[in-house]
Amino acid sequence: MLDHKSVQWKVVVNLHAGSKKCEKDWPKIKSLLNEAGFLMEIEFTQRQGHTIEIVQTAIETKDFKHFIIVGGDGTLNEAVNGIFRQNKYKSTDILLGMVTVGTGNDWGRMYGMPESYKKQVKILQEAHDFVQDVGVVQYRYDSANNKRYFINIAGMGYDALVAKKTNTMKQKGRGGVLVYLINLVAGLFQYKNTYLDIDADGKAVFSGRVFSMSIGICKYNGGGMMQLPFAIPDVVNLMSQ
C-alpha cells in the first residue's frame, strides 16, 4: 500500500464544479488534505478542457504520477483523457484519486463514495488502488478524426442530446440534477431515432432504428439514475483472477 506522504500529488481543482459548490468548499477540502499530510502542487482549472492539458503537462514535464481531482464527473473525465493522451508512462503507472464535489457524482456513487469530505480524504490516505476499465469513442468532428476516453458511461442518440444541452447550461452557470431532468423532458420533443448497425466482437448483432443507447463501464448516469445495473467496471481484474 502506498504511503501517501512519500510522494508529491498534483491536485487539480475545478472551482465551478457543483454549480460553484467547490468554490465554497475548497478551503475546507484543502485544510483536510493538509492535515492528512499530502504534499501538493495545486492548480485550478480555467476553462472547459483545461484539466486535460494540466494532467498531460504534469506527467510529461514534471513526472507526476499521483493526482487528486477536486470536482465533478466532467473534471474526472478530462483527467482520464489527459492520462491517455500522454505517452511517457503506462496508464497503470499513474494513480488517480478524487474528492467528489460535482452535481452528479455518478462515478463516486458506483463505489459508494461517502458525502463527507473528511471520509473521502481518509480513503485517499489509505490509497487502496485498483485498476478500472476505460472505454474509448472514436468519432469525426469538423472533418477531423477524434477520440475521447471515458470511465463511466458513453451515451448516444437521445442520451447524448440531453448531455449536450445540460453541459451547455452548466457553462452558463446553471447546473444540478433538476437541469438534467428538464433537458431529459425537453429532449423527448426534439430528438428523432437514428439508424444504427452494431457489431460486437467482430459480429453483427443489431441493425435498426435506435432512440437512445448507452455503453456503461459503471452503472449510474444523470445524477443517480441506474441506467446500466449490470455494468462491471473492473472486468480486467475479473479476467486476471
| Bridge partners, residue 86, by sequence | none
Query: Which superfamily, per CATH, for 4-126?
Result: Probable inorganic polyphosphate/atp-NAD kinase; domain 1 (3.40.50.10330)
Please give the DSSP secondary-structure letter assigned to residue 127: T
Cβ–Cβ < 8 Å for 67, 35: no
Average pLDDT over residues 155-178: 75
How far CA 76 is from CA of 96, 152, 195, 203, 240, in Å, comes to 9, 10, 31, 33, 26
pLDDT band at 47 (very low <50, low <70, confident <90, very high): very high
Give the contacts of 238 (CB within 8 A, at least 6 positions apart). Answer: 232
> So where are the chain's domains?
4-126, 153-216
Residue 131 confidence (pLDDT) above 80: yes
pLDDT tens profile 142-152: 788 899 999 99
- Cell 470511465 sits on residue: 151
Lowest mean pLDDT among 136-145, 171-180, 202-211: 171-180
pLDDT band at 236 (very low <50, low <70, confident <90, very high): low
Give the contacts of 161 (CB within 8 A, at least 6 positions apart). Answer: 187, 190, 191
Residue 241 confidence (pLDDT) above 80: no
pLDDT band at 189 (very low <50, low <70, confident <90, very high): confident
Residue 173 confidence (pLDDT) above 90: no
The pLDDT value given to residue 237: 62
Average pLDDT over residues 202-209: 91
Average pLDDT over residues 172-194: 76
pLDDT tens profile 5-42: 899 999 999 999 988 899 999 999 999 999 999 999 99
pLDDT band at 176 (very low <50, low <70, confident <90, very high): low
Distance of CA 212 to the CA centre of its chain: 21
- Cell 443489431 sits on residue: 206
pLDDT tens profile 99-115: 999 878 999 999 999 99
